[in-house]
């Protein structure tokens, strides 16, 4: 098992820019600085209401980034059509409601099976890796596998919003979900609400290929700059030895 890659979501940089409807701060320039500091990829969410990332941002990001561009999108027909033309390396399908502050909860794969059966192959044919942003529930994972999605991104919001014993319970739920996903042939990413205080246990679970983190890093960068904010998060990711040791412990516990 390898160390998770760090993908940084730049939506909140665009949110700040859109507060004045200007050109500054530029999410593309911020993304390039994050990439230079060691980020393995950049994530952005092109919403139907365009509250932060704009169409032109996606085009510029794909044109200027050297690393992976992961585009989050809803199942809305317009958004899917734009994604197909974006040139993004990866696509993460997420639920979207106009009144929400940020994405709340995972995609209901069971409810959305009909649309997903059309959208997943269409995005795959464009050469992008497709993931479904789901709650850590076995039934959602089973449907994701049946639909042919190669990846799921586990929604870590419930874990991030809990403390104490309740957080430990949510971590156990994430661990069980990750193990189940891998057992049935899914590759696993994780994200939502992760920050400098809670990321390490998730990164250490084993089998997580990518962590998507945005707000915490953008907020930290306001005080210490982009490079240091990214470097501090990278330092919290486990070493290969820690990952291997965790995997060995889990195998021993199962036996």
Which residues are part of the catalytic machinery? 45, 72, 192
d(CA 136, CA 105): 10
d(CA 215, CA 52): 13
Environment class of residue 143 by beta-carbon count within 10 Å: exposed (0-12), middle (13-18) or buried (19+)? buried
Instruction: Outline where the chain has alpha helix (H).
Output: 11-18, 27-36, 55-64, 77-84, 113-125, 138-146, 157-161, 164-183, 199-203, 215-224, 226-236, 240-254
């Amino acid at each position: 098992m390898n160390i998770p890659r760090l993908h940084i979501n730049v939506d909140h940089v665009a949110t700040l820019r859109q507060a004045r409807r200007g050109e500054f701060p530029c999410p593309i320039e911020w993304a390039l600085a994050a990439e230079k500091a060691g980020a393995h990829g950049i994530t952005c969410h092109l919403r139907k209401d365009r509250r932060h990332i704009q169409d032109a941002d996606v085009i510029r990001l794909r044109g200027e980034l050297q690393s992976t561009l992961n585009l989050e999108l809803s199942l809305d027909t317009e958004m899917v059509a734009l994604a197909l033309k974006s040139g993004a390396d990866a696509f993460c399908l997420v639920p979207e409601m106009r009144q929400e502050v940020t994405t709340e909860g995972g995609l209901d794969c069971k409810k959305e099976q009909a649309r997903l059966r059309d959208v997943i192959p269409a995005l795959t044919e464009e050469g992008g890796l497709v993931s479904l942003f789901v709650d850590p529930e076995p039934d959602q994972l089973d449907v994701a596998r049946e639909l042919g999605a190669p990846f799921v991104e586990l929604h870590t919001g419930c874990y991030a919003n809990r403390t104490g014993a309740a957080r430990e319970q949510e971590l156990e739920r994430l661990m069980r979900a990750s193990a189940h996903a891998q057992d049935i042939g899914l590759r696993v990413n994780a994200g939502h609400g992760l920050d400098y205080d809670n990321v390490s246990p998730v990164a250490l679970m084993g089998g997580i290929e990518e962590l998507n983190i945005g707000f915490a890093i953008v907020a930290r960068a306001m005080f210490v700059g982009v490079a240091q904010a990214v470097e501090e998060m990278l330092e919290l990711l486990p070493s290969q030895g820690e990952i291997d040791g965790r995997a060995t412990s889990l195998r021993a516990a199962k036996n």
